[in-house]
Amino acid sequence: MARRHIPERLTISETAHELTVDDLKPLVRLIGDEVKGRKSDLVDALVAAMENPKQVRAFYDGLSELGKRAVEEASHGAAGDLDLHRFRAKYGQSPDFGGAGRFRNEAQPTRLRLFFPLRHALPTDVQDLLLTFVPEPPPLTVKAGDDLPPRVRRPYKNLGRYYPQPDDEEVELRVRHTARAALQEVKAMLRLIDAGEVRASETTRRPSASTVKIVQTVLTDGDFYDEDDQSERSNDPASDLAMKAFAWPMLVQAAGLAQLSGARLQLSPSGRKATTKPAHEVLRMIWDKWLKTSLLDEFNRINVIKGQQGKGKGGLTAVGPRRQSVVAVMEEFPAQKWISIEEVFRVLKALAEDFHVSRDPWRLYIAEQQYGSLGYDAQYAWESLQGRYVLAMLFEYAATLGLVDVAYISPEDARNDFYDRWGADDLSCLSRYDGLMFVRINSLGAWCLGMAKEYEAETAVAAEVFKVLANLDVAAVAPPLNPADALLLERFTQRQSEDVWHLSAAKALAAVEEGLTIAELRDFLTAKSQTALPHTVEVFLADLEQKAGQLSDLGAARLIACADANVARLLANDRRLRKLCEPAGDRNLVFRAADETAFRRGLREMGYVLPPPR
């Protein structure tokens, strides 16, 4: 969207001269002067009144409460400008300026018009005068509550008589407390990647459809919606309701915990370390990295809105500042309180001045660019553009990471704010996120957002997950196991039956080859069994740990053959080469590939040369 034009700032005298006689007469009547004379006389009367501190204060005192708020907002604004869209969002209605009063039957202006005689900006000298006594406007208040209603009405807008009118039907809310699941799922996701089960596109780095289904199997409480919620129409936004299963592969990549190797994701060194870090620290690190990533723009997930890929003036705005705008508003919300999405929208409209999804909404469209462009009535498309972006960011990413609890309904017919858009007749919703009704910043979210200095995880009674037996069997106590536990256990053990695994030296050593450690296995078994490990298991693990520590990988090496044993001994004992190579039999020498340049230089100084490999 083009940057909003800020008009040139004028004094009251300059402003008055810009007005016509017909504009000036109603204003002069408001100050109590007789309306007569030429334009210059009317200008002098208006300027004299608005440069008089006592009169200006009297005019302010005589305003309605809403009128006073308008003057306060403009006075303490950087440019003396009154943004009516933000004002309506903050106070629920526009201030009353009255009519122009130019004609006999036309409504007269209110005294508020004296402060804004031209457009909706205070004259510079009037603003300076007002700042000497006008208080700062009251802070925005956020409507929040401790409890949720069991059922809600859909947030329908009255689009006129040609569209279905808002109804009184109430729909049952589904509530999801997300922190506990996120703390478990982040480790499960890392284990799933470590097992080589996660694939992504090499160009977009988005998870494949098969990967989304695999990720769904390790989600603690499942995704927010299931197959029963999906639309049967393949071209409808509600036909694909995967959120958490799509978000997790993107989040771990954005955080640098996983990287592509071919078509599969593999853990990075920081991802390997994250498997043993406290889960809440990993989640906060992922959130911080996500706010800065350009890997994915959440608005791209609003698939039904086309034309998003244009660059330059037609492209989407930078996603980083957009995220920061949402976060800044989230930080205004009270923690542990439920806030309706309509309230979230209202606060964003009031506080986020430059919050726009697109530089040019005419480039965005539904179904067909000419007729379905969102540029038509773009000022009324806030919910379709900025609103849907906010829903996607909160529902698919903040909630997946466990920062906000969510209350929602089915997305189908949840909102009607797009029904009047050309090409939307057959759509049940504009996005998979339309059903989000309420959010609540939980204790994990307050800590990740910097609203709380510390995070205290909910205390849960440690329970015995499985028994570790003397015969090296591991038996589940209360199956099924948590997905993250099952993934780690299967890396080190051989499955014997549905609920029994056997510690295997071969599998354990294979896991060590892939970067895991025997110490990690020991800590895992001890924590999950809640008892000391049997002696036979301790001996088994100690033997594995001892063998696993006997060898070190020093990197790739080069093996060269000498013409005879004398040359091999001469080279191996030379002061320039003896620290770089080792004998390998009578006629061979071996050196690290990383030392090849230094080794060749030493050979040349001795009068020898190593030809290139055949």
Together in a domain, 112 and 195 = no
- Domain range for residue 43? 12-130
- What is the pLDDT confidence band of residue 462, given thresholds at 50, 70 and 90? low
Stronger pLDDT, 522 or 393, i.e. the higher one: 393
- Please give the structure tokens belonging to residue 469: 């037996």
User: Which alpha helices (DSSP H) does 331-436 contain, by range?
Assistant: 341-351, 369-372, 388-392
Mean pLDDT of the 423-449 span: 95
- In the prediction, which pLDDT does 310 show? 63
pLDDT per residue as tens digits for the range 345-365: 999 999 887 899 998 888 899
CA nearest neighbour of 386 among 437, 352, 425, 427:
352
Cβ count near 516 (within 10 Å): 20
- 510 and 441 in a single domain? The answer is no
Residues 102/26, Cβ–Cβ less than 8 Å: yes
Pairing assessment for the beta strands 170-172 and 581-583 based on DSSP bridges: unpaired
For residues 416 and 486, state if they share a domain: no
What per-residue confidence (pLDDT) applies to 4?
47
Whether 385 is in a domain gets the answer yes
**Domain C-terminal end among 448, 477, 500:** 448
Distance between CA atoms of 245 and 239, rounded to whole angstroms? 15
For range 36-63, the mean pLDDT: 92
Q: Taking CA 572 as the corner, what is the angle to CA 571 and CA 576, rounded to the nearest 5 degrees? A: 70
Residue 42, pLDDT score: 92
What is the SS3 assignment for 109-154?
A: ECCHHHHCCCCCECCHHHHHHHCCCCCCCCCCCCCCECCCCCEEEC
**Residue 144 maps to a domain:** no
* Residue 314: predicted pLDDT: 54
Domain presence at residue 571: yes
The pLDDT, as a whole number, for residue 1 is: 38
Whether residue 274 is found in the same domain as residue 375? yes
Residues 374 and 233 in one domain: yes
Q: Is 519 a member of any domain?
A: yes
Pair 35, 74 in one domain: yes
Indicate whether 264 pLDDT > 50: yes
pLDDT for 238 equals 95
Task: Give the per-residue pLDDT at 35.
Answer: 75
Q: Identify the band that residue 381 occupies on the pLDDT scale cut at 50, 70 and 90.
A: confident
State the DSSP string of 315-343.
SBPPHHHHHHHHHHHHTTSPTT-EEEHHH
How many other CB atoms are there within 10 angstroms of residue 174's CB atom? 15
- β-strand pairing of 466-468 with 473-476: antiparallel
290 and 364 co-located in one domain: yes
Residue-level pLDDT at 2: 40
Residues 504 and 441 in one domain: no
As beta bridge partners, residue 306 has 365
Q: What is the pLDDT of residue 599?
A: 96
Residues 6+ apart with CB under 8 A from 140: 90, 332, 347, 350, 351
d(CA 161, CA 420): 11
Write the pLDDT tens digit of every residue in 91-150. Answer: 989 999 988 766 666 788 999 999 999 888 999 999 999 999 999 999 988 999 999 999
**Residue 243 pLDDT grade (very low, low, confident, very high; cuts 50, 70, 90):** very high
Closest by alpha carbon to 208, among 235, 231, 242, 259?
A: 242
| Residues 6 or more apart in contact with residue 607 via CB below 8 angstroms | none
pLDDT at 125: 94
Is 249:204 a contact under the CB 8 Å cutoff?
no
Do 505 and 358 share a structural domain? no
Please give the helix or strand (H or E) that residue 500 lies within, else none. strand 500-503
Is there a domain that residue 140 lies in? no
Give the end of a domain, one of 448, 477, 503: 448
Joined together, the tokens standing for residue 514 give: 């892939």
Residue 561 lies in a domain: yes
523 band by pLDDT with thresholds 50, 70 and 90: confident
Domain count, the chain: 4
Overall average pLDDT of the 188-206 stretch: 92
Residues 544 and 566 in one domain: no
Q: Measured between alpha carbons, how far is 211 from 17 in angstroms, rounded to an integer? A: 68
Contact call for residues 266 and 252 (beta carbons, < 8 A): no
Q: How far apart are CA 48 and CA 27, in angstroms?
A: 12
Any idea what DSSP says for residue 398? I
Band of pLDDT at residue 372, cut at 50, 70 and 90:
confident
Q: Identify whether residues 540 and 569 lie together within a single domain.
A: no
200: pLDDT strictly greater than 80: yes
Evaluate whether residue 7 is within a structural domain: no
Mean pLDDT computed over 506-517 = 84
Q: Using the 8-state DSSP alphabet, how is residue 298 labeled?
A: G
Question: Which of 175, 145, 140, 150 has the alpha carbon at shortest distance from 337?
Answer: 145
User: pLDDT-based confidence at 54, cuts 50/70/90?
Assistant: very high
- Say if residue 519 is in the same domain as residue 569: no
Both tokens of residue 394? 């909160």
d(CA 85, CA 158): 19
pLDDT at 336: 95
Q: What is the SS3 assignment for 266?
A: strand
Burial class from Cβ neighbours inside 10 Å (0-12, 13-18, 19+) for residue 368 reads exposed
Is residue 399, in this structure, part of any structural domain at all?
yes
Q: What are phi and psi of 105, to 5 degrees?
A: -90, 5
pLDDT one-digit tens code per residue, 163-178 = 777 677 899 999 999 9
Arithmetic mean of pLDDT over the chain: 89
